[in-house]
């Protein structure tokens, strides 16, 4: 099946710094990538949708200037959490979808801890 | 978007069959029903998808009644490793945006 990777798997950063999370589709071209956030014991919440080569579409309530998304190639999307605060600590999950299939393939997630 | 309702949690024992039901009363004609499994600190994993009647794969079966207002995921002979959260999603395959809303999920605990 299609494989999506994320890097890093875990990251700890200090409050006020920025951190970048990468999402890669390893064996298919992902025309669309999605970013989710999941707090402990809660469900996944969609943050934004990005299409290769165009600006991301953010869900209501998600600050686009804080969560910068870049989808510059068909295999890579990045999420940068700028000026991170402890409340941004969460599990960030990406998924990817090609234009040939409906299914979205999920990455393993990135655990962000802001101290 | 069709909203889904699932039990918050379920307990079972090894070797038993587990049935998790999802309600989706306002499912649309073009909507499919998809189930995902998520282990702690991992991304969701696709289990099964169906439109109507019954679908079976090597992992599970999905039962969908004629009115399609609910669906039941059936896991045969569960093991401890099936302890996870199971999500039911409803949406149009041709419109990825419809398949992106995760409900609360059902937390399945399999006991020895």
pLDDT (tens digit per residue) in B59-84: 999 999 999 999 999 999 999 999 99
d(CA A6, CA B9): 29
**CB–CB contact B43 A104 (8 Å):** no
How many angstroms separate the CA atoms of A100 and A106, rounded?
16
Query: Strands B61-64 and B53-56, how do they pair?
Result: antiparallel
Residue in chain B nearest A42 by alpha carbon: B104
For the beta sheet containing B18-23, the strands, ordered from the edge strand earlier in sequence to the opposite edge, are B18-23, B70-75, B61-64, B53-56
pLDDT of B95 reads 65
Please give, one letter per residue, the 3-state secondary structure of B65-106: CCCCCEEEEEECCCCHHHCEEEEEEEEECCCHHHHCCCCCCE
Under 8 Å between Cβ of A43 and B104: yes
- The minimal CB distance from A32 to the residues B42, B96, B105 is found for B96
Separation of alpha carbons B40 and A87, rounded Å = 20
Best A43, A91, A97, A105 member to test B by mutation, with max B CBs in 10 Å, is A43
Residue B92 has a pLDDT of 81
Determine the pLDDT at residue A103: 82
Distance (Å, rounded) from C-alpha A7 to C-alpha A24? 8
What residues have CB less than 8 Å from A63, skipping those under 6 apart?
A: none
**Residue B2: closest CA among B54, B53, B68:** B68
SS3 A14: coil
Instruction: Find the CB nearest A108 among B42, B102, B103.
Output: B42
Per-residue tens of pLDDT for chain A, all 115 residues: 689 999 999 999 999 999 999 999 999 999 899 999 999 999 999 999 998 888 899 999 999 999 999 998 999 999 999 999 999 999 999 999 887 777 889 999 999 999 9
Under DSSP, the state recorded for A59 is P
CA gap A40, A42 in Å, rounded: 5
- Which of B44, B84, B95, B98 is the best mutation test for A, with the most CBs of A within 10 A? B44
């Amino acid at each position: 099946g299609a494989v999506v990777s994320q890097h890093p798997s875990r990251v700890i950063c200090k409050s006020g710094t920025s951190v970048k999370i990468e999402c890669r589709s390893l064996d298919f071209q992902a025309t669309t990538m999605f970013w989710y956030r999941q707090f402990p014991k809660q469900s996944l919440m969609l943050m934004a949708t990005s299409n290769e080569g165009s600006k991301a579409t953010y869900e209501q309530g998600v600050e686009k200037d804080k969560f910068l998304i870049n989808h510059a190639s068909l295999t890579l999307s990045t999420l940068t959490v700028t000026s991170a605060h402890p409340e941004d600590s969460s599990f960030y999950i990406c998924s990817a979808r090609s234009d040939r299939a409906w299914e979205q393939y999920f990455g393993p997630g990135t655990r962000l801890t802001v101290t | 978007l069709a909203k889904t309702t699932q039990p918050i949690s379920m307990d079972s024992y090894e070797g038993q069959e587990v049935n998790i039901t999802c309600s989706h009363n306002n499912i649309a004609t073009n909507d499919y029903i998809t189930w995902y499994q998520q282990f702690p600190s991992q991304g969701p994993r696709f289990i099964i998808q169906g439109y109507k009647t019954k679908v079976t794969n090597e992992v599970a079966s999905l039962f969908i009644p004629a009115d399609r207002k609910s669906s039941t995921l059936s896991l045969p002979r569960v093991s401890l490793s099936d302890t996870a959260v199971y999500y039911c999603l409803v949406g149009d395959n041709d419109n990825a945006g419809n398949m992106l809303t995760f409900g609360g999920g059902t937390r399945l605990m399999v006991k020895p």
